[in-house]
Chain A
Amino acid sequence: MRLVYEHFVATLTGLIRTPAYSLVTVLIPGVVFIFIGTSVADSREAANLVMASFAIFAALGVAFFQFGVGIANERESPWEQFAHVLAVSPGTRFAATILAALVFAIVAVSILIGVALILTDVGMPLMSWARLVVAVFVGAVPMALFGIAIGYWSPPKAALPIANILYLALSFGGGLFIPPSSMPAVLNAISGVLPTRQIGELAWAAVQGRPWGLEPWLWLAGYTVVFGFVAAMGYRRDEGVRYR
């Protein structure tokens, strides 16, 4: 446990002192919300929906960039090879990374909610807030695994652009920027199978006080298994390249 803490502190410290990472991941969702979100949040109902979508966008960013790009960068770093010989299990280091990501996700989502509370007429029962948080953080699990898969499978230099493109495509396609109801039929059909759309369905149901259907959960469970498998394969492959 002490090692989890030490690695967590070191990871968090390193990220905080890299403003190009920390400020961007933490502030971008709030800033984008100011420009795009506030203009469509013309009623309480609309404001709640848009804020929920951007909360997913915020958590997705942390999952993608911290896990995806972070892992890709570390793969070739001499420090990582050194850390590999230290008496620490991969699980301990992974736990530390998850904790650090959680801190960033909480800060990013909190800033976004703060912006929404100040600039729009957001408001809902406590139960809806709680369900929104559950949807966002459960949804972040398959997305973090997707990020890890990107980190292990893409060439280190390509990881950032790949993550950027997928981040925007999945956010847009999942209906986080424009509601699925105003999408063309073809796009809506594609959107229906994206993981971001499933997280969206859960988050939107939460803020509207509707009960959760089973379908999004099944999709997310499926995506967790698939992304988890691809990430594990990538990890194995990477181990095979470096530690054969």
Chain B
Amino acid sequence: MISSKNEGSAVRPRNIMGSPNYAARLVKVSKAYGPTRALDQLNLTLDRGEILALLGPNGAGKTTAVSVLTGTRRADSGSVELLGGSPRNLAIRRRIGLTPQESGFPNALRVGEILRLVRAHYPAPLADPVLFDRFPLQPLLRRQAGGLSGGQKRMLAVALAFAGAPELVFLDEPTTGLDVDARRALWRAIGAYRDDGGTIVLTTHYLEEAEALATRVVVIHGGRAVAAGSVDEIRGRVGQSRVRFDGEAPDNLPSATRIERSDGRVTIYTQDADALVRAMVQRGVAFANLEVQPASLEEAFVEITGGGTQ
């Protein structure tokens, strides 16, 4: 499945089960849809116990990367390894969970029936008390899926990913369209799974979500991994802080990594906001309504991908 000489690294230590200490790995995986290169020699290693957020603009290749990892699409070239085997292997698939991107359930089936069906595919699924403690679905069990609200469907979709108590969970846009309370409830459930030692791959448009959950972020752009690191490291790429004020933007300020101007409001990204403000005061720069904030991941992300479509 996997080339033993990639990255020039030594043979990775293996546990007694004979499976590697990473949960999944893509090596030089390419995938094209006609003329569109969705993945371009993508390398990606998923460590056990981490929550990896895949970020990137629409069409960057995030969903394709997940599809290749879960075996729903075949790679044109490169090697794919999931939990020490092939994603198309049934024994391997019993150990993963995922949530569909669109929450389209069989409309006529009840929530309880869907949970039962999905859990039947796993050797040791979550028991009702644990499942309902994390996902408050109990009042909905007798409701048909077609009659659920968007938020309830999302909750069910995410619960299905965890219901089988898998080792590895793929969450594709898990909280799209949820209100703040529902989103935080889902984040708590995901956190509980992480605390149990579970591994998660998360694709998301919500950078706040990656900031709240991810232990590591990989930014995908044009089918390649263009940046990887902790949320803080990714943010550090563009500057730790964002300084905003009304006025004229001076040139040659120390430690300014990027300057934006719009409607008389200036935004400066910097590694050192204190030094920047001090320099502005010393030079007598006129400013009003000064605001200093930590830069968001979103801004880092726009910087890295050269202004994606977000």
Which residues in A have some Cβ–Cβ distance to B below 8 Å?
2-3, 6-7, 10, 13-15, 17-18, 77-79, 81-82, 84-89, 242-244
What 6 A-B pairs have minimum CB-CB distances, sorted nearest first? A78-B104, A17-B108, A87-B93, A78-B102, A82-B100, A87-B94
CA distance A223 to B185 in the complex (A): 56
Which residues in B have some Cβ–Cβ distance to A below 8 Å?
33, 70-74, 90-91, 93-94, 96, 98, 100-109, 113-114, 116-118, 120-122, 144, 160
* Closest-CB distance, B144 to chain A (whole angstroms): 7
Chain A residues whose C-beta falls within 8 Å of the C-beta of B96 in the assembled complex: 85
| A243 and B93 form a contact (CB under 8 A) | no
Partner of A86, one of B33, B91, B93, B113: B93
| B105 and A3 form a contact (CB under 8 A) | no
If A14-B106, A78-B102 are given as contacts, then 7 extra A-B residue pairs at C-beta distance below 8 Å, sorted by A number, are A15-B108, A79-B100, A81-B72, A82-B100, A87-B90, A87-B94, A243-B73
CA distance A79 to B74 in the complex (A): 20
| A6 and B71 form a contact (CB under 8 A) | no
| B118 and A86 form a contact (CB under 8 A) | yes
Partner of A87, one of B103, B108, B121, B144: B121
Chain B residues whose C-beta falls within 8 Å of the C-beta of A244 in the assembled complex: 33, 73-74
Can you show 16 pairs from A to B with CB atoms below 8 A apart? A3-B120, A3-B121, A7-B117, A10-B109, A10-B117, A14-B107, A14-B109, A15-B108, A18-B108, A78-B103, A79-B106, A81-B72, A81-B100, A82-B98, A84-B72, A244-B73
CA distance A154 to B214 in the complex (A): 43
Chain B residues whose C-beta falls within 8 Å of the C-beta of A6 in the assembled complex: 116-117, 120
* Closest-CB distance, B101 to chain A (whole angstroms): 7
Chain B residues whose C-beta falls within 8 Å of the C-beta of A87 in the assembled complex: 90-91, 93-94, 121-122
CA distance A85 to B98 in the complex (A): 8
CA distance A17 to B107 in the complex (A): 9
CA distance A78 to B67 in the complex (A): 13
CA distance A13 to B114 in the complex (A): 11
* Closest-CB distance, B23 to chain A (whole angstroms): 16
Determine the residue in chain A with the shortest Cβ distance to B105.
A79
Main secondary structure of the interface of B (DSSP, over half): loop
Chain B residues whose C-beta falls within 8 Å of the C-beta of A15 in the assembled complex: 108
CA distance A206 to B200 in the complex (A): 61
* Closest-CB distance, B166 to chain A (whole angstroms): 10
Chain A residues whose C-beta falls within 8 Å of the C-beta of B103 in the assembled complex: 78
Main secondary structure of the interface of A (DSSP, over half): helix
| B104 and A86 form a contact (CB under 8 A) | no
CA distance A242 to B117 in the complex (A): 23
Q: A2-B120, A79-B105 are in contact. Are A13 and B72 (CB under 8 A)?
A: no
Determine the residue in chain B with the shortest Cβ distance to A15.
B108
CA distance A10 to B104 in the complex (A): 15
Q: A13-B108, A243-B72, A243-B74 are in contact. Are A88 and B121 (CB under 8 A)?
A: yes
CA distance A119 to B20 in the complex (A): 71
Chain B residues whose C-beta falls within 8 Å of the C-beta of A2 in the assembled complex: 120
CA distance A59 to B183 in the complex (A): 49
Chain A residues whose C-beta falls within 8 Å of the C-beta of B71 in the assembled complex: 85
CA distance A10 to B103 in the complex (A): 18
* Closest-CB distance, B169 to chain A (whole angstroms): 12
CA distance A87 to B85 in the complex (A): 14
* Closest-CB distance, B142 to chain A (whole angstroms): 13
Partner of A85, one of B93, B102, B117, B120: B93
Chain A residues whose C-beta falls within 8 Å of the C-beta of B101 in the assembled complex: 78
Q: A3-B121, A10-B113 are in contact. Are A88 and B90 (CB under 8 A)?
A: yes
CA distance A84 to B106 in the complex (A): 14
